[in-house]
Chain A
Amino acid sequence: MIYADNAATTKISDSVLEKMLPFLGEQYGNASSQYSLGIKAKCAVEKARQQVAVAIGAEPPEIVFTSGGSESNSWVLSSVSNGHVITSSIEHHSVLDACHSLERKGIDVTYLPVDSKGRVPLDSIKEAIRSDTKLVSIMLANNEIGTIQPIAEIREYLQGRSILFHTDAVQAVGHIPVIVKDLGVDFLTASSHKFNGAKGTGILYKRNGVSLPPMIFGGKQERGARAGTENVAGIVAAGYAIRESVSDMTAMADKLSAFFRATIYGIRAKIPNIVINGDQNNRLPGIINIAFDGVTGDSLMNLLDLKGICVSTSSACTSGKDEPSHVLIALGLTEQQAKSAIRISYGRYNTVNEVETIVDTICNAYNKILAAKL
C-alpha cells in the first residue's frame, strides 16, 4: 500500500508509539490521582505540555489538551455569546458548522471570500470588521489545497481593537514554522494525528490573560479549563510527535516540495491539461490538489485504491449523490471542475519510488477512465 493522504491523518511515528505505549500498559494511572502511579501520569502530561509549548513558542500554561482539532475549534467558536464573528468561506467544517450554530443563536457571521488561490484578501477583513466584532477565525493553512493565509498581516488589521483572533492550524503545525507570538493570535488549534502523533488528542493554545469559559464540565483537569480524565498516552504522543516534527521540519519540507514538483511534472508530461488548485507559492509543502479534465476525482480515487494507493477527493460520495468541495467552489471552480479534483498529500514516510508509482498509476487510471467513456 502507498499512503498519500497525510492531510487526512498520518502514521504514528515508531519512536512516538514507543513513548506512548507504556501509558496504555503498566503506566495506566489517572493523572489526577495523588499516589505514585497517578503522579507519574501527571508528570508525563506536563512534560508533553512543555514539549508542545516549546514547539510553537508558547508558555506551558497556555497549552490545553483536548480530544482533537474539532473540539478545540468548536470550543473557541462556541464561546462567542453575542455580536459578530468573521471567518473565511474555506474553513474546515468544524469551524463552519460552529459558525452556523452561532447564527442559529442570533449571532452574525461574515464568511469572507477567497481569491482564486485560496487567500483571504486583506482588504476584505478590514471591510468586514464591525464595532461589535468579537472574534476572527481564519485557518493558517487549508486542508484541501494547502494555501497558507497571511495570519500575521491579518493580526495587524485587528491591532488596537478588542477582537479575539483564532487560527485553525491543524494542517500547519509540525509542517511549517508556527510560532504563536509571531502570528499574534489569541487562540490556535492543532491536532496530534496530523503530525505523526496519535488520534484523539488535540491542542488549544490560549494566550495568557485571555478568558475562555469551559465547554466541558466535571473536573479540574487542565487547570480547570477542560474537565475530563486526560488521554495520557495520546498527550505523551503529542509531545514527542511535535518535537520530532519540528526537529526535522526544514529537511522534511524540502523533501515534500521535491515530491510536489515531481508529481506535477510527471503527471503534466502525460496529461497536459491538469489544473493545480491553490497557491503555488504560499502553500504547505506536501499537499497537491489537482483537477483533471473529463473524469471525476471519485473515479480516479477508486481506481487508485484498487491499485493500493490512498489519495482523497474533496467530495464525499457515499450515497450516489456527491457534493462538490466548498473550498474549490470558493476558489471559483465550477461544480464539474471541483468534482474532478483529487488531493495527494505526502508525508514523512513517502519515498521517491512511491511518487513515481503514484504518477504512473494516476496517468494509467485517467486513460482507462477516458477510454471507457468513448
Chain B
Amino acid sequence: MKQNKRVDCFACGKQQLSKDELGLNLKMIGREIKQFYCLECFAEYLDVTVDELLAKIEEFKEQGCELF
C-alpha cells in the first residue's frame, strides 16, 4: 500500500490517517489488511489503551521500522 494515498478510519470515518496510524495497522495486522483504524478505534478494537499503542509506535521507530 502506498502511504501517500488518503486512507480513512474504517470505524469512525476519521479522515486522512497519519503515517504512524497506517504503519501501526500494517505492523499489527499485516500487509494484507483491508480496513484501517485510527488510533482511538484501533485501541478499542484491540482492547488496549491509546497510550499503549503510542508506546508501541515509539518502540517500532526505535527499532528502525520503515513503516513509521
Q: Which residues of A contact B (CB under 8 A)?
A: 295-296, 298-299, 302-303, 305-307, 317-321, 368-369, 372-374
Contact = CB atoms under 8 A, between A and B. Distances in A.
Interface residues of B, number: 22
B65 A299 contact: no
B33 A373 contact: yes
Of B25, B29, B48, which is in contact with the most chain A CB atoms at under 10 Å from its CB? B29
B28 A303 contact: yes
Contacts of B33: 372-373
A302 B33 CA distance: 15
B52 A373 contact: no
A320 B35 contact: no
28 contacts: A296-B30, A296-B31, A299-B27, A299-B29, A302-B28, A302-B56, A305-B56, A306-B28, A306-B48, A306-B52, A306-B53, A317-B65, A318-B63, A318-B65, A319-B64, A320-B65, A368-B46, A369-B28, A369-B29, A369-B30, A372-B25, A372-B29, A372-B35, A372-B37, A373-B30, A373-B33, A374-B34, A374-B35
Interface string B18-30: 0000000101111
Of A299, A317, A319, which is in contact with the most chain B CB atoms at under 10 Å from its CB? A299
B52 to A, nearest CB: 6
A373 B56 contact: no
Contacts of A307: 48
B30 A303 contact: no
A298 B30 CA distance: 8
Contacts of A319: 64-66
Interface in B36-68: 37, 45-46, 48, 52-53, 56, 63-67
A306 B29 contact: no
Contacts of B37: 372
Contacts of B27: 298-299, 302
Contacts of B56: 302, 305-306
Of A303, A307, A320, which is in contact with the most chain B CB atoms at under 10 Å from its CB? A320
Contacts of A318: 63-65
Contacts of B30: 295-296, 298-299, 369, 373
B42 to A, nearest CB: 9
Contacts of B35: 372, 374
A295 B53 CA distance: 20
A353 B37 CA distance: 32
B28 to A, nearest CB: 5
A97 B45 CA distance: 43
Nearest to B67: A320
A373 B29 contact: yes
